[in-house]
Structure 1
Amino acid sequence: MEASNQVKKSHLTIGVNDPIPLGQAILLGLQHVLAMDVYVVPFIIATAVSMSPGDASSLIQSTFLGAGIASLIQVLFFLKIPVCQGPSFVPVGAIIGIYLGGNGMSTVLGASLIGAIAITILGYTGIYKYIVRTFIPTIVSGTIIMIVGLTLLPSAFSGNIFIETAELTMNQNVLLASITAAILILFSMLGEYFPKLGKVFRISSVIIALVLGSTIAFAMGGMDFASVSEASFLSLPNFAFIDYGFTFDLSAIVTMLIIYMVLLAETTGTWYAVSSVTEETLSDEQINKGVIGEGFGCLIASLVGATPVTGYSTNAGIISITGVASKVVFVAASCWFIILSFFGKLSALINAVPAAVIDGVFVVVCAIIMLSGFRVIKNESFSERELYIIGVPIIIALGLIFMPAELKGQAPQFIQYLLDSPIAVSAIMAVVMNKVIPEPKKV
């Protein structure tokens, strides 16, 4: 038994509860912050609703603050596994629709606040663990994780790699992303093949890739530090209870409640992915506490003016790449988020890293996320039933990604909210198909 356990955990260089030097934890925490790319969600929302530069910057800072506090809540008090909270991609489309159709951020935050309270109550009553058992078994959670990784890949390519910027051509962006991804894989594999010499390379592979990629971008003339020089050293985000207020609109609340249930399915899948990577058992009680932590995290996010947060599958990918699963690293990452929310210069410096460099890392991490989903379901029996439960949601997710805007625009507004979230729709489909398709009779 002892030997089998050693083989089981041999892929980790630092375990979940293993000690780690503070300086190393701080560096590795920053590595998670950089790879999570949390400013993408507020950036998409701010651009779509035409926020002023000041409001857009404040939304990004609020997002950092909400992510930091929510992560500390989960890691230290509730879920207690190595995972960071960040803004979910699931409600982005719905948030944009609510913003434009209501009273701006106050309507979004009001609906988010009610949804967070509902999720917290769901956790405290203990109902969610029965929902997980009934509606989100391993086959469903693994499928959702696979879809998260799969659906994020196209945005990385079309939004940041296959583009031209003022500083870099499309060819240069493709080259930058390719070089950064290759560096990440190289240093990660050095740790795999040369355990003693390469351990430090594997642990720091993400941040090495980002630094070297940024250095190459600078040599190409693709690093613009103007925003860093113009940014205030210290600045405050816009807090909901001070700068926005809360507006409670029934249709917005109902929409957000549905989104929150899908978000819970997504984050539960992430927890299973992290559990699989770290090979730590995730109990029903732990999941229920995680739901309470998720509710508190989303509640804090809405109060500080940020959108709903969720556990990031990216962390599972980075743990798999680096072999470092220490919770101390995730506490450090949470503190980095909080620091960045008040230090405009640091936030601007991170934002100055070319998108192609970040997405060179991001596409590798997305692939790891997708395969982490497969790792979750690999021990399931793959009859024709399971193939459809996995395959049809993937088809729907890809179909929604490539759905023409004019076709989507013909749907009622409420449906458009959901169609803008391929992860949400495909997650719902995975749950429905698992319940509708009967299991074959055992002979």
Structure 2
Amino acid sequence: MPNQMSQLAERDVKSLFHGQTDARKLEATGPLVCVRAEGINVFDEHGNGYIDTLASMWNVALGYSEQRLIEGAKRQLETLPAFHSYYNRSHPPAIDLAERLTAMAPGGMSKAYFTNSGSEANETAVKIVRFYNNALGRPEKKKIIARQQAYHGAGIFSGSLTGLKAIHEGFDLPSPGVLRTAFPYQYPAQSNISEEEFATSLAELLESLILSEGPDTIAAFIGEPILGSGGVYPPPATYWEKVQAVLRKYDILLIVDEVITGFGRTGPMFGSELYGLRPDLLVLSKQITSGYAALGAVLFTDEIYQVVADYTSKLGTFGHAFTSGCHPVPIAIALETLDIIEERKILEHVQSIAPHFEERVRRFSTRGDVVDVRCVGLLAAIELRHPEGIGPGVISKKAVDIGTRHGLLLRASGNSIAICPPLIITTSELDTMFDRLEATFDELASETT
């Protein structure tokens, strides 16, 4: 980044308020203003190019140059540029996408409800669960169990489901009604029990929490197949099998948040397929449109739908909706995204390149400044060692700054650098990305020793 702020950067700092940012630091440094993108690369206002190692915000699956998505949006804008699904109204793209998603999703989904984002989708999932239990005459069965280090959004309740301190501080979160259970990861270097034994202990902790709170007060458990924004933590073997058994035992619904893991990120279409997950409600967003437009979705089973539908008949409505939550343009883009994923065999590409991706990630484990590496599919994290006396996240954020000098857009997630490139990345691009990351860590090490 240039030492002197550009006119664009100065204008940005004067008028644009940035999320998840230290506003005073930004005033001093100015933002990195990106003006165009191509393939897996983003270019700033000075012409500098960067490999986008996080696919924007975990979502640009098909890269930045997919003309078919642009044309799909254009066709929809020329036919039905705006509409909704309020009352008894609908439109063809929504009907088609709902049918495709419910048919392909795990768990026997029956209905799809569209929103503008993953945060809104998680808020909606919780409202459906509340509506469902009220319909069944169970007004006390409302608490939601979420996990430490989870990320489920930044709204009042979705932010409460999130298990990250930075999302809570200053906002009076979490709100009542959210219970927290254990972080499902053990560092290999610190492990003295098997993964299965660890999974058993986590399931026992979950059951103890349920019993102490009272099963009749707990409505649902929400979880990502792999903890994403909290640091990319895959679960131990048999974890989801054991957790689902506990939930079934106490009649607790399972909300699976596939906002990051959906649509091929881990290899199969959904992360649930890796772990045998059978959700009652499934939350989707991000790669559903390859990031080209805002869209989220909640899918749910026919068992839930039938109860909810009966209650809407009693009350006269399901009093929840978003003006642009079922907008035809992002839905048309989502349909085109699914077509491309299928026609170009994107899942097969991910599965073919994933072993090399993992091998490059694992190389970092031999470095003295790396504590841990984690990888599933094209989703990874490299956790950096933080010297004594330096606060959490300081070193990883410094790595992000150094990375820009090496042509990388990086994301700090706690003490880790998260890696989540566009699914279309090639082997040579992957090697270039990791070579630049090694150079970044080498420079970081020279500055911190």
Pick the TM interval, shorter chain.
under 0.3
The structure showing larger relative contact order (alpha-carbon pairs under 8 Å, at least 6 residues apart) is 1
TM-score, L = length of structure 2: 0.25
**Comparing both structures, which one devotes a greater share of its residues to strand?**
2
CA radius of gyration, larger in: 2
**Comparing both structures, which one devotes a greater share of its residues to helix?**
1
TM-score, L = length of structure 1: 0.25
